[in-house]
Structure 1
Amino acid sequence: MWHLPTIRAIAATTPEGQVVLAARPASRAAEVLAVEPSVVRVVDAPNYKDRLKGVREVIDFLRICRTEKPRALWILEKIDRPAIAAALAGVPERRGFGLGHGQEGWLNTGPFLPKSMRPAHRIDKLEAFEKAHGLTVTSREPALKLDPAALAAVAARYADKPGPWLTLGIGASEAPRTWPAERFAQAAAALSDLFGTVFWIGGPHEAQAARAAVGDLPNNVVACDLTLDKAAALIALSAGFLGNDSGPLNVAAAVGTPAVGLMGTSPVPAYSRWLSILDGGNGRITDITVAQAVDAVRARFLAETWDNRSVLDA
């Protein structure tokens, strides 16, 4: 989501107005960007964990370059394997962050970000990179485009659920970014006077914990079976979002749903006007209390007059 404004700006420099995006399979970019007009297609660039991971990734990306035959490669990261592969494949124009890493030796079109920017957040690096390469980005808002079919399917599936809707994003990639499920349940109970239905989303492996936490709470729906496009649609149709520092939180900001993010390690900056954050401090998401989360949602609900949004014709 953070990269979408940059990707669109790069696409705008091409005759086609589109790019081919190479991304890790775990990002599920092909699903997320299925109707993004600036991305003609997404190709998988697998990552490995064995001793030969570097070699394997170079070989995979070399194969991508030989198949796609790009005029230019833009690497929005510090890694060197795509740069090495692109150089070996003879890609004419190769750009990347640089940052004083080995990547720079395989790039041929600067300028590069200075070594001093290594500790900076990814969004700050993207902004500096855009400026250095003359890319025009007028807003950091991702403004993610959604599949109308997914929106219609979710709206139909939950047509009988009273609003306003609140979606809880209970999943995260690691334990330090995961707020306890029982606290989400306590927050849902405390906010029941504001929301007619509370949806719980996460990966399939989180469904059992969600159901256990929900128990007999009325008007709470475990929706961990939704595919990524439909989960995004549910978030977009909801009045608001409360969740961990994870993909769904960034999706909420990207589709313009007011979102309160619970931060653990490496807190995400409030890069979007739709996003506000709660930081437990010292990387401890468990230091965020139920009362703090409830107060943050309640304050924004009242100040911003949250309600379910109609995005089916957007």
Structure 2
Amino acid sequence: MSSPSGPVLVYAPDRGIGDLMWHLPTIRAIAATTPEGRVVLVARPSSRAAEVLAVEPSVARVLYAPHYKDRLKGVRETIDFYRLCKAERPRAVWILEKIDRPAIAAALAGAPERRGFGLGHGQERWLNRGPFLPKAMRPAHRIDKLAAFEAAHGLVVTSREPALKLDPEAVATVKARYADQPGPWLCLGIGASEPARTWPAERFAETARRLADLFGTVFWVGGPHEADAAKAAIGDLPNNIVACDLPLDQSAALIALSAGFLGNDSGALNVAAAVGTPCVGLMGTAPVPAYSKWLSRLDGGAGRIADITVDQAVAAVRARFVSEAWAHTRA
């Protein structure tokens, strides 16, 4: 059986950085119920949780649970989490989803306390602490499920704002690297997980050109594989810098130091909201709700991100720049 002195494990199986941001208030609320004020987070490698939450005080450690795609994925994930539970000997496991694999593994490993969404799924038979979310909530957005789960389990969450903690060293590095770049700064988040969520690079470039009177420097943020497309789109536009080579902690710092952010529905957009940078999201399929006061959305309609025009993007940024005095808040 598990030792009562073992850690509290929180299992968050979603794969994106944005998903991780949505879960932060819940993770902190669970940690607040423990004497040590910290939990061990189990997440997917693609969430990059160990990097994103490197200085998060409520997370003692991050352990990764791989996501498989083969026919035996369910068996493999159950075995993996069983082994993890046997090694960690948790006193409690909180599963922020309805999937049964981690619940089965935690039960077989002898975790004394097991909680999860339920949602009328087979997971419920392997849990021993309710209440569970009703089956009727299955179609709800993850943020709504998290809020309902918190209320059901008496978790205290006063705000849905992720309020991501930044590494001071990363902030200092970014400040030093771009110290000579005039402000205010605008970040363009050009990356996305799929084409249906990707606004054309040429439109980002035209938007940057038409906002040049507001921003001294425009940074293009994305993954290393997006650097070439960014360079090609920028062409000879002055004061536009490709920042796709930054490690994740420095990319988050750059976004936090910027006056504003315009970008695709992606991890970078959610990071912008999480660090309190005013951000305009270009929405495609399954658009993220405006869960943060920092986030506003542009939706082309019926999930067609390509229907969003440069005029709309420019107008949205200009309106918020003026009404929220972006020029006076950051670099």
Aligned partner of residue 327 in structure 2, secondary structure: coil
Counterpart of 2:223, as a letter, is G
Equivalent residue for 2:120? Answer: 100
Cα-to-partner distance string for 1:72-130 (whole Å, 9 max, x where unaligned): 11111122211111011010111111111221121111111111111111110000000
State the identity as a percent.
81
SS at the partner of 2:133?
coil
Tell me the distance in 1 between the aligned counterparts of 2:170 and 2:237.
27
Matched residue, 2:78: 58
Counterparts of 1:307 and 1:3 in 2: how far apart (Å)? 31
The letter for the 2-side match of 1:72 is A
Q: How does 1:164-313 map to 2 (within 5 A)?
A: 164-307=184-327, 309=329
Q: Once structures 1 and 2 are overlaid, which stretch shifts more, 163-172 or 75-84?
A: 75-84
Q: Distance in 1 between matches of 2:273 and 2:162?
A: 8
> What one-letter code is carried by the residue in structure 2 that aligns with 1:64?
L
- Distance between the aligned counterparts of 1:152 and 1:270, measured in 2? 30
1:135 match: secondary structure:
coil
Q: Which amino acid counterpart does residue 49 of structure 1 have in structure 2?
A: K
Distance (whole Å) between structure 2 residues aligned to residue 9 and residue 122 of structure 1: 16
The whole-number CA distance in structure 2 between the counterparts of 1:159 and 1:307 is 17
TM-score by length of structure 2 reads 0.92
- C-alpha offsets along residues 33-71 of structure 1, whole Å, 9 cap, x if unaligned? 000000001000111111111111111111111111111
Query: CA 1:308–1:52 in structure 2 vs 1: closer, same or farther (change >3 Å)?
Result: farther
Residues 39 and 308 (structure 1), Cα distance of their counterparts in 2 relative to 1, 3 Å cut: farther
The number of residue pairs the alignment matches comes to: 311
Per the TM alignment, residue 307 of structure 1 is displaced from its structure 2 partner at its CA by 3.0
Aligned Cα root-mean-square deviation (Å) = 1.0
SS at match of 2:22: coil
Alignment check: 8 A CA contact 2:184 2:330 kept: no
**CA shift for structure 1 position 310:** 5.7
1:165, 1:308 within 8 Å by CA — same for their partners in 2?
A: no
Q: Which runs of 5+ in 2 are unaligned?
A: 1-20
Give 3-state SS (helix, strand or coil) of 1:277's partner.
strand
Unmatched 5+ stretches in structure 1: none
Length-normalised TM-score, structure 1: 0.97
Partner of 1:77: 97
> Do structure 1's residue 46 and structure 2's residue 95 form an aligned pair?
no
Asked if 2 retains the 8 angstrom alpha-carbon contact of 1:236 and 1:309, the reply is: no
